[in-house]
Amino acid sequence: MLPYPARVAIWIIVYLLFVLGPMFALLVGSLPPARDFWTEFSAAIGYAGLAMMSLQFGLTARFRYVTNPWGEDIIYHFHRQISLIAVGLVVTHPLILFAVRPELLALLNFIQAPWRARFAAISTYSLIAIVVMSLWRVKLNIRYETWQMTHIVLAVVAVTAGIAHMIGWGFYLVYPWKRTLWVGLTIFWLALLFYIRLIKPLFLLRRPYRIAEVREERGDTWTLVMQPEGHPGFSFTPGQFGWLTVWGSPFKITGHPFSFSSSAAVTDGSVDMTIRNLGDFTSEIHKVPVGKRVYLDGPYGAFTIGNPADMHVLIAGGVGITPMMSMLLTLADRGDKRPVILLYGSRDWESITFREELEALKDRLELTVVHVLSNPPAGWTGEQGYINAEVFKRHLPPPYDDHEYFICGPNVMMDSIEKALGEMHVPLSKYHSERYSFV
Amino acid sequence: MRRLFADRLALATGVIVILVSVLFAYLRVAQ
pLDDT at A405 over 70: yes
Pairing of strands A404-409, A221-228: unpaired
pTM, 2 dp: 0.79
Cα A178 from Cα A352, distance rounded (Å)? 60
In chain A the first and final C-alpha atoms are separated, in Å, by: 28
Q: How far is B22 from chain A (nearest CA, A)?
A: 6
- Asked if residue A316 lies in contact with residue A410, where contact means CB atoms within 8 angstroms, the answer is no
H/E segment holding residue A139: none
State residue A296 phi and psi, 5-degree precision: -130, 120
Q: Is pLDDT at A439 greater than 50 in this prediction?
A: no
A71/B2 CB distance under 8 A: yes
- Could you give the CA distance from residue A276 to residue A293 in angstroms, rounded to a whole number? 20
Residues of B in contact with A43 (CB under 8 A): 25
Arithmetic mean of pLDDT, A276-305: 87
- Nearest-neighbour CA in chain A from B5: distance (Å): 9
Give A333-350 pLDDT, tens digit per residue.
999 888 999 999 999 999
Mean pLDDT calculated for residue range A248-272: 86
Give the N- to C-terminal CA distance of chain B in Å, as an integer.
44
CB contact at 8 A, A322 and A274? yes
Span A266-292, average pLDDT: 90
> Which residues of chain A make contact with B26, given a CB cutoff of 8 A?
37
Contact yes or no for A88 and B14 at CB 8 A: yes
Q: Which amino acid is at A294?
A: V
Each residue's pLDDT tens digit, A116-169 = 999 999 999 999 999 999 999 888 988 877 888 899 999 999 999 999 999 999
Q: For chain A, what is the mean pLDDT? A: 90
What does DSSP assign to residue A260?
Answer: B
Distance CA A430, CA A383 (A): 25
Angle, vertex CA A285, rays to CA A281 and CA A288, nearest 5 = 125
Residues on chain B touching A12 (C-beta within 8 angstroms): 9, 13
- In percent, the amount of chain A with pLDDT more than 70 equals 97
Alpha-carbon distance B11 to nearest alpha carbon in chain A (angstroms)? 8
